[in-house]
A and B are shown apart, each in its own frame.
Chain A
Amino acid sequence: MTTLSVKDKDTVKAFWAQVSGKAEEIGTDAVARMLVVYPQTKTYFSHWKDQSPNSPAVRKHGVTVMLGIGEAVAKIDDLKAGLASLSELHAFTLRVDPANFKILSHCILVVMATMFPNEFTPEVHVSLDKFLASVALALSEKYR
């Protein structure tokens, strides 16, 4: 996995500044999409009675995830250190298979495309894709 260039970081920070006002909406849509498009991800949420796209649990979780993404943007210069406790959470408590980070990242990108078609240019796409891959890597850090 490549490190983020200065251009990548600037692009991500600038794009995040434009879209973070809709963070809740983005997160909710991304998680809802993930559960529908990749039904195997529902296995992590068997404790939710209602897994439909607009359920309170899904909405709440979408918000939680986007807050995490926002935190990652703020700590973009050292994701490994910045996301250490989140990595422990995912590794030891949640035990989410890291393959799912890629799945959720894809859903986040799709939501960005639907909500910000003009801003989500190929240049923004590549930097954001690299960033989300870096976040996934940092989250996998404590797994083994």
Chain B
Amino acid sequence: TRAVVVEWTVKERSIISSIFSNLDYEDVGPKALCRCLIVYPWTQRHFSTFGNLYDAEAIKTNANIAAHGIKVLHGLDLAVKNMDNIKEAYTKLSTLHSEKLHVDPDNFKLLVDCLTIVVAAKMGSDFKPDVQATFQKFLAAVVSALGKQYH
């Protein structure tokens, strides 16, 4: 399929830049990943070596999960820095998720939904509809790029 280049307005770039420059990665990363593992428990299939995931409390206090949440969140920095070139920027990571990690690309949508919820909780009334729209557009572009190398 032909690549669709994602276009960004000045306002949208500003919204994304603002969200990520104010982001507390050490807090949001773990919260987003934990929420995903709790709300969509089948996603735990990729974390069998991470230790105790028995219940919500165990997941929330698991240091391996917390560290991984921070790592995954920083994975979005690539898109923030390459907004006009997201598809190309994620070629390696897409191959990794497909060939090595064997993650069903539908799982990416679940994680970004949880990330949206966590960011919404932090921003409160500042997470206005247009901010949500921009953030979800950005995350959808990353999700699409991550799925590109699957075959």
Which A residues are within 8 Å of any B CB, using their own CB? 32-33, 35-37, 53, 106, 109-110, 113-115, 117, 120, 122-123, 125-126, 129
**What chain B residues lie within 8 Å of A115 (beta carbons)?**
124
Contacting A at CB under 8 A, from B45-104, are 56, 60
Complex Cα distance A33/B35, Å? Answer: 22
Beyond the given pairs A106-B113, A123-B56, A125-B117, 17 more chain A to chain B contacts, judged by CB atoms under 8 angstroms and listed by A's residue number, are: A32-B129, A33-B129, A33-B132, A36-B130, A36-B132, A37-B133, A53-B129, A109-B117, A110-B120, A110-B127, A114-B127, A117-B124, A120-B121, A122-B60, A125-B38, A126-B38, A126-B39
- On whether the beta carbons of A37 and B129 are closer than 8 Å, the reply is yes
Complex Cα distance A115/B56, Å? Answer: 22
**What chain B residues lie within 8 Å of A109 (beta carbons)?**
117
Tally A-B pairs: CB < 8 A. Answer: 51
Q: Which single member of B34, B118, B130, B136 contacts A113 (CB below 8 Å)? A: B118
**What chain B residues lie within 8 Å of A125 (beta carbons)?**
35, 38-39, 117
- On whether the beta carbons of B121 and A113 are closer than 8 Å, the reply is yes
Complex Cα distance A33/B42, Å? Answer: 29
**What chain B residues lie within 8 Å of A106 (beta carbons)?**
113
**What chain A residues lie within 8 Å of B117 (beta carbons)?**
109-110, 113, 120, 125
Q: Which single member of A37, A117, A120, A126 contacts B132 (CB below 8 Å)? A: A37
Complex Cα distance A113/B115, Å? Answer: 11
B36 (CB) vs chain A CBs: closest residue: A122
**What chain A residues lie within 8 Å of B60 (beta carbons)?**
122
Closest Cβ–Cβ distance, residue B34 to chain A (whole Å): 6
A116 (CB) vs chain B CBs: closest residue: B121
